Structure 1
Amino acid sequence: MNQFNHIMACIDLSDYSPMTLGYALGLAGQADVKVTICSIVPLREVNPVYMAGMMYPCREDTTEYLAELKEDRITQIRELIRTRYPEFEGKTDIRITMGYPAEEILEMIDEVDPDLVVMANKGRSNLSSFMFGSAAEFVFRHCRKALFSVRDKHIFKRMYSGDELPEAGELRNIVAAVDFSPWTEHILSRAGWMAKTTGATLHVVHCIGTKELAWVKSHYIPENTFSEEKFLPKAKQRRQARLEDQIKAAGIEDMTGIDITINSGNPCEQILYAAKDLRADALILGPLGHSRSVKFVLGSTIEKVFRHSPVPVLRLSPDICI
C-alpha cells in the first residue's frame, strides 16, 4: 500500500493557515511522517522596501529588514504551532522565502521534494468567489506532487459572509473517484492508506459517463435498438466486479466496510453528488482522466471538482505511472 512519508504544508498566516496545518499535522501525527512548513512573503510586502533602499541607501538597510521579516514570520508560525498544535513544537522544518507565491511554492516543492503538498483553496485575499489564476489554482494545475487542497465545507459557500473561521475537520468518510484509467489502483491505494491512517470509511465511486453511453449507443446494430434501462444494470454489475478486482490489486481488500457506488451521468456532477450523499470529508482523484492530457486541462472533470467541491480534494501526482 502506497503511503506519504513527507508532507509539505503551505501557509500564509491568513485565516486559512490553522486549517491547513490542522489537516497536514493531523495526517502526520497519525502516520508519523516528516513535515515541512513553507511560507512565502509576497513581493507586494517587499517591493516598497527595495524601492526605499534604492532611493535612500544610507537610510534603509534592506538586507537587515528582509532578514527581520523572515524571522518574524518564523516566529509567528512557531507561535501558531505552540498554541494550536503543541505536540508538534520543534518537530517541523520551517522554510521562508520571498517572491510570487505560486511560483515560489512550486520551486519550494522541487527543492523539498515532499510526497504530499497541503494548501488551502484560498489565502490572504479570502475571496468570496474563486478567481481563475489564483495561487491555489495555479499550484493545483502545475504541481507535480500529490496535492491536498483543503477547505471547510461548513463555510465553503461562495457568498458566505459570516464570521466563522475555517477549521480542519475530522476525516470520517473518504471518497475515491475512479474511472478505470491507469492510475485507478494508485487512487485506491492512497485512499486506503488515508482511510486506515485516519480510521475513516472508504467509499469508491465510479460514473458511467454520458459520452461513453453515447458512444455505445452509436455502435449498436441495428440502429435505435439501444436501451439504457437494459444496458446500465449489466454494465454496473460488470464494473462492480472489476472494481473489486482492482481493490484487491491495490492491496486494500482486507479493509472492512469498503463501499462501492456506481452511477451514470455527468462525471463531475455525479462525483459531487456522491460526495454530498455519502457525507464525504475528503475526495481523492487521479491526476488526469482518460484523455491523459500532459497538462491540466481547463474545464476538465478534475478542475471542476476542485473548484466546486465543498470538501478537501486530494489530487494525485501526474508522475505516479511514469
Structure 2
Amino acid sequence: MAESQDKMQQNVLVAIDFSPHAMAALKYAANMSKCLGTNLTILHVVHDLASSPGYYAPKKIKGEKKILRRLEEIAEEMMDEFLVKLIKENPELKSMIKKADVMLVSGLTVTKILQVVEKLQPQLLVMGNKGRSGLKNILMGSKAEQVIKLCPIPVTIVKE
C-alpha cells in the first residue's frame, strides 16, 4: 500500500487558465518537476456553464463561418496552442511538457482542482495568480485563495 501511495505522490500538478500568470506557473511547475524527478500533470478546468455562462472565443479562420462549438473542443485547441507557445519560448522544457499528463475537466474551478488533488495526491499544486487586491477581491474572492485555504497539500502561487 505504501509503495502505490509513493508512486501516486510523485507528481507535480499545475492548474492553468491560459493567462500569462498560468504560463509562468507552468514554467515553474515544469522546472520543479524536472528537479524533483516527478511526473507533471497540467490541469485546465473548463468553465461550468451553469455557474458562469459564457463561451471560449474561437479564432475566426479565413473563409470559415462562425459556428458554435463545444467548450471542451475549444479548450483542447487552446491547451495545444498554449503548450506550443510555452515550448517555443522555452525549448529546454520541451521534454517535460511532451511527457506531461494533460487533463481537461468541466465544472467549478475550485471544486474540480480540489477533486483532482484528492484523486492524484500530488506532492505540490502550482497555480498562477494575477494578485487582485482591494474591493474587487473582497467582493469576488480569489480562486487561488480558496484553493490555498482548502487544499490538503502545499500550494505554490506564481505571478508573471
Normalised TM-score (structure 2) = 0.70
SS of equivalent to 1:141: helix
Q: Select the residue among 118, 125, 136 that pairs with 1:110.
A: 118
Residue aligning to 1:86: 94
SS of equivalent to 2:76: helix
| CA distance in structure 2 between the aligned counterparts of 1:119 and 1:48, rounded to whole angstroms | 23
Matching of residues 129-148 of structure 1 within 5 Å: 129=134, 131-132=137-138, 133-148=141-156
| CA distance in structure 2 between the aligned counterparts of 1:46 and 1:27, rounded to whole angstroms | 32
Residue aligning to 1:6: 11
Residue aligning to 1:252: none
The change in CA–CA distance for 1:120 and 1:66 in structure 2 (over 3 A counts) is closer
Is the 1:18–1:80 Cα contact (8 Å) retained in structure 2? no
The change in CA–CA distance for 1:76 and 1:128 in structure 2 (over 3 A counts) is farther
| CA distance in structure 2 between the aligned counterparts of 1:78 and 1:19, rounded to whole angstroms | 12
Counterpart amino acid of residue 47 in structure 1: P
1:35 maps onto 2:40 in alignment: yes
How many residues are treated as equivalent by the alignment? 134
Higher relative contact order (CA 8 A, sep 6+): 2
The structure that has the greater radius of gyration is: 1
| CA distance in structure 2 between the aligned counterparts of 1:71 and 1:104, rounded to whole angstroms | 17
| CA distance in structure 1 between the aligned counterparts of 2:27 and 2:87, rounded to whole angstroms | 13
Residue aligning to 1:315: none
Residue aligning to 1:221: none
Structure with the largest fraction of helix:
2
SS of equivalent to 1:13: coil
Residue aligning to 2:24: 19
Is the 1:78–1:89 Cα contact (8 Å) retained in structure 2? yes
| CA distance in structure 2 between the aligned counterparts of 1:139 and 1:79, rounded to whole angstroms | 27
Counterpart amino acid of residue 131 in structure 1: N
CA shift digits 1:11-60 (9 cap, x unpaired): 101110121012111111122111101111223697357xxxxxxxxxxx
The change in CA–CA distance for 1:88 and 1:42 in structure 2 (over 3 A counts) is same
Give 1:118 deviation, angstroms.
Answer: 0.8
Is the 2:12–2:124 Cα contact (8 Å) retained in structure 1? yes
1:76 maps onto 2:81 in alignment: yes
List gaps (5 residues or longer) in structure 2.
Answer: 1-8, 56-66
Counterpart amino acid of residue 7 in structure 1: V
| CA distance in structure 2 between the aligned counterparts of 1:128 and 1:146, rounded to whole angstroms | 23
The change in CA–CA distance for 1:65 and 1:115 in structure 2 (over 3 A counts) is same
1:47 maps onto 2:53 in alignment: yes
The change in CA–CA distance for 1:70 and 1:114 in structure 2 (over 3 A counts) is same
Is the 1:82–1:89 Cα contact (8 Å) retained in structure 2? yes
Runs (4 or more) in structure 1 with deviation over 4 Å come to none
SS of equivalent to 2:127: strand
1:150 maps onto 2:158 in alignment: yes
Let me know the Cα RMSD of the aligned residues. Answer: 2.7
Give 1:128 deviation, angstroms.
Answer: 5.2
Normalised TM-score (structure 1) = 0.37
SS of equivalent to 1:114: coil
List gaps (5 residues or longer) in structure 1.
Answer: 50-60, 152-165, 167-322
Is the 1:81–1:88 Cα contact (8 Å) retained in structure 2? no
CA shift digits 1:54-86 (9 cap, x unpaired): xxxxxxx98x62341232133123313422332
